[in-house]
Structure 1
Amino acid sequence: MPPAAKASPSGPPPFDPYDPLGLDDLLSDEDRAVRDTVRRWAAERVLPHVAGWYERGELPVIRELARELGAIGALGMPLTGYGCAGASAVQYGLACLELEAADSGIRSLVSVQGSLAMYAIHRYGSEEQRQQWLPRMAAGEVIGCFGLTEPDHGSDPAAMRTRARKDGSDWVLDGRKMWITNGSVAGVAVVWAQTDEGIRGFAVPTDTPGFSAPEIHHKWSLRASVTSELVLDGVRLPADAVLPGVSGLRGPLSCLSHARYGIVWGAMGAARASFEAALDYARSREQFGKPIGGFQLTQAKLADMAVELHKGILLAHHLGRRMDAGRLRAEQISFGKLNNVREAIDICRTARTILGANGISLEYPVMRHATNLESVLTYEGTVEMHQLVLGKALTGLDAFRG
């Protein structure tokens, strides 16, 4: 057996209410540097403005933000080459946590750019496609989007109706995609379509005739985010637009797994921001002659929130280490997304009760995070889909189709 760890001569460090388990000890100096860089950028460039963007339902500076995120290495972080940072999975996760602590819409911008569009091209594209798109996407000069979900086919992408047919050496695409983050500002869309060879992916320049991306309005969630429909009416592409490295659902599903991993971390960012707002409020808000943090029921809420928040961060760390070791399975990512998003929403709702009526004000981040997480709960796999993924893994029986 290894020798027992020796106690520090000065004893354990003081209890930190913002890091009660001492999870910061799990990080290397480089990890902390990445985290602190993203946290500082979000504090300076997002937090002063995001409540206004959310209230107005817009992200007017998305192209500017994308270039800034590229400059700090946050786009395509875990990818190597082509101007990408080659960061570890844990470092990418830490960045997602800090971005979503500012707003889910900002984390979605980064996630769709790097974990979906760039990841698809990096893993399944030709060398020419990688050279054409990835350096500019890593720099934030070109924004990407990922066209999989359709108006009538969300959880069942195998039934997609978007079709690509051969016409001589060209491909012609027709169909619709729905709820596409970054769609109307993208320079390239990775679109998945049915072909005679099975489902294939295509790198579609968005200035191609027949392609349009009308923005979706009237959202009550992810309001500081660009969400669009993709319309493909006879979009003609050359033969080399197809991603040559994959056919079938394995391609888009592997991209989704990569993006879901970022959500495991990101959801804890929204939860952390809400917990910290509630903790600070409980220390200063007075009722019946003392701060409400001095009442047992408030302390019980704060204790339960802290437990679930830091368990979720610990789970994200564990999955990140497994990804870095090449041992992370898709079912384990489903485990993380199911747990962390569900617990994050509960933390936000509990935080709202501590803030009382102030909890619904955009002066505080809690209601904004709670409504954003309603979308995060659904996209890239609903609760039911992740339950069935885990159920199949546990029993060996497939319940997806009756």
Structure 2
Amino acid sequence: MLKSIALLIASLVSLASCAQFHPYQAAGSVIVRTQGYDSYATDRYKPAGPLAARIVGYSLLARQAYIRSVYDTGRPVEDHYQCEGVVSSSGGMPNCTPATVLTDEEREARLLKEWHYVAGCDYFYIDKDHQHRVDEHGKCPKLRGSSAEGLGVQLWIHEDGPVCKEAAIVFRGTVSGDVGDWESNLHWLRRELPGYDQYNQVHDYIINYLGLLDSAPCYREGKTEIVAIGHSLGGGLAQLAAYSDNRIRHVYAIDPSMVIGTDTVAPGRLRKNSQGLHTELIYEHGEILAYPRYLIRQFNPPTACNPRIVTERMKLLKGSPISQHSLTDFNAGLLAVSRGQKPESRPFILQDIPPCASS
């Protein structure tokens, strides 16, 4: 018995040593990592503000995918942020008073106004004809029979001139009580069983969803960069979308699922679409999915290039692992820590480091 316990401890220590294991993290900081790089080694208390200022707009869009009225009206819905759950200023976060909360709300409104809603497909309720809840005037593809419910997809465009520089495809995460979401979360276990979950749906219909961008007057294929965004299950779907269609070259996956669904992509296509792909896995330290992702990294660590996968671990919240998975609270933390900060001008995700510099 003692030998077994000793072996278990030795195994855990070995895993920790090879996996950049940092149990402590200062409030308001970020640890950035990829293959062969760990910011903790050179900057243990790297401030999260500049990185948060760069990605907060994408995280706010991820929240819109959960709000069903957005699919109906095409108008973004703002959250009313409070300070509960955000780490205190004594822990390294900027001051949080009613005045600054109001400022955060104003900043949220400004960031969302930079994006224009193009279209959305909400498959929360699928009728006997396998039609989605929101018709979108027939724009959204019908899913094949026996499709799992729950897929939510939105298309947004960043209007900044006659030719828009950026468009986003955003995927909804798990909604409590949605059986189809949980079928998709168990994709690894169910893939040999009959069924057609959201990973299968995204792989098969990504061309149709990206085709909805053609209705945006400023969208130009080849000139407008397409990014994929999602939280939780949506983060896994966003990564699969990029592996399925190489028009997507950047992914923002927030508190992402460890399930990506690459088994649905042909090996040759997967290799091709991985070339030049940038994926940011952005998450709160201690949120519930961080633990299984940590275990998976021991056997399948993030790669430095083709695709470049960078993990960005924040320390913004307090609470239980489940409560720290809340996207609303995480957005409040991003807004708080980025107060008065300029977005980082040269993010690590785009820097050339070995071995990518020689690729």
TM over 0.5: no
The structure with the larger Rg is 1
- Scaled by the length of structure 1, what TM-score is found? 0.24
Higher-helix-fraction structure: 1
TM-score by length of 2: 0.26
